[in-house]
Structure 1
Amino acid sequence: MNPAAAARQHAIDEIREADQNFSIMSEKQGMAKAFTTYASDDVIKLNDGAAPTVGFDSLRAQMSRLPANGPVLTWQVLKADAAQSGELGYTFGQWMLTQKDGSAKRSVRYGVYMTVWKRQRNGEWRFVLDGGNATPEPK
């Protein structure tokens, strides 16, 4: 593999790992912690059926309104890619949102997402754009 292709593949692997760690944090520590940890300062979060959330402070405010024992969001990367420069990339995959109602009955919703990742000055990957929509249960 030539050096440019190897560098691009390394970026793809890093983006995939960042996305997977983002999902693990969401499951174990909650959506608010995960989204505010992995978001860039200039983040845009697309909201299914609502206006987008623009900027880190707006995202933090949105996430702070989530209940402490609220829904659990997890996802699985199906595809990741990166620019030749290794500075920008995306992930695409399927998500699952599990909720309990007042009687502890569990409900599950499914969907797809896409996240655009940008390498930060310190070398870490943060998402700059995230969005998704609900779908029927995957087969």
Structure 2
Amino acid sequence: MRARLALLALGAAALVAAKPPLRFQPDPSSVIAAEIAFNRLAQQKGQWTAFAETAADDAVMFVPQRVLAKDWLKKQANPAVSVSWSPSIVYVSCDGNLAASSGNWTQPDGTVGYFTTIWRRDKKGRWQWILDHGDTLATPRATPEFMSGKVATCKRGPDGPPPPPAPGKKGDMPPPPDESLVWNADGATDGSRQVTVRMWTGAAYETVIDDRVKAGS
């Protein structure tokens, strides 16, 4: 397991060091590596510090109301010990620019829960989170033996999204999102919310994440 995590970390470092092209390989392992690095940063520098340093400027979170993450985070003090988490599964868009991860978290007091995080690449190709949410559970979700990843298809369907456009010449605008992975986060005034992620299969959108949080959770 340690060797596998080391390989993932090296892969993430290579992505940062390389000059990013207009399009990226839809590689779930790079998202898993980003999650592992995110959790490690939280243990080393503090929970909310890690969240702030890895968030995009337009990232949102629920506390339980929906807030602009960086505005909320700059007012928070780090807890003495950070929550710890690990992804179980990752979904990546056809063009490799958007991803969703989901897994379990554990508080220092033993409280457990789940999370879903939406990731987007920045202009340099680094993964930044744009949505983070989760909820407590009485018992943790079943954890698979191995972390897994799935990639949306680029195949055009009769009623589905077109495949991503080919990269243009140097200096052209980058291609628009391919819409093979779409997400939605709806929050109510009572604190309840629903976060869904749908992935294009080539024939239809499949709902791969459907998180429903009750009011007061």
TM-score, with structure 2 as normaliser: 0.51
- Which residue does 1:95 correspond to in 2? 105
Q: Give the % identical residues.
A: 22
RMSD of equivalent CA atoms: 1.7
Larger Rg: 2
Q: For 1:89, what is the secondary structure of its paired residue?
A: strand
Larger relative contact order, structure 1 or 2 (CA cutoff 8 Å, min sep 6): 1
Conservation of the 8 A alpha-carbon contact between 1:77 and 1:93: yes
Structure 1: unaligned runs, 5 residues or longer: 1-5, 99-106
Bigger proportion of residues as helix? 1
- 1:14-66 Cα shifts (integer Å, max 9, x gaps): 1111011101111222102210111110010123xx212214233322xx334
Q: Rate the CA distance shift 1:7–1:115 in 2: closer, same or farther, 3 A.
A: same
Q: For 2:139, what is the secondary structure of its paired residue?
A: coil
Q: Which residue of 64, 77, 81 corresponds with 1:65?
A: 77
- Which residue does 2:114 correspond to in 1? 112
- Which residue does 1:33 correspond to in 2? 49
Whichever residue aligns with residue 93 of structure 1, its letter is G
Q: For 1:25, what is the secondary structure of its paired residue?
A: helix
Structure 2: unaligned runs, 5 residues or longer: 1-23, 143-217
Conservation of the 8 A alpha-carbon contact between 2:55 and 2:69: no
- 1:82-124 Cα shifts (integer Å, max 9, x gaps): 10011100100000111xxxxxxxx211000000000000111
Q: For 2:110, what is the secondary structure of its paired residue?
A: strand
> C-alpha distance in 2, partners of 1:27/1:74?
8
Q: Which residue of 41, 62, 76 corresponds with 1:46?
A: 62
Bigger proportion of residues as strand? 1
- 1:120-139 Cα shifts (integer Å, max 9, x gaps): 00111000000000001326
- Which residue does 2:93 correspond to in 1? 83
89-98 vs 50-59, which deviates more? 50-59
- Which residue does 1:19 correspond to in 2? 35
> C-alpha distance in 2, partners of 1:134/1:77?
16
Conservation of the 8 A alpha-carbon contact between 2:98 and 2:121: yes
Whichever residue aligns with residue 83 of structure 2, its letter is L
> C-alpha distance in 1, partners of 2:116/2:41?
18
> C-alpha distance in 1, partners of 2:51/2:59?
10
Whichever residue aligns with residue 30 of structure 2, its letter is E
Q: For 2:94, what is the secondary structure of its paired residue?
A: coil
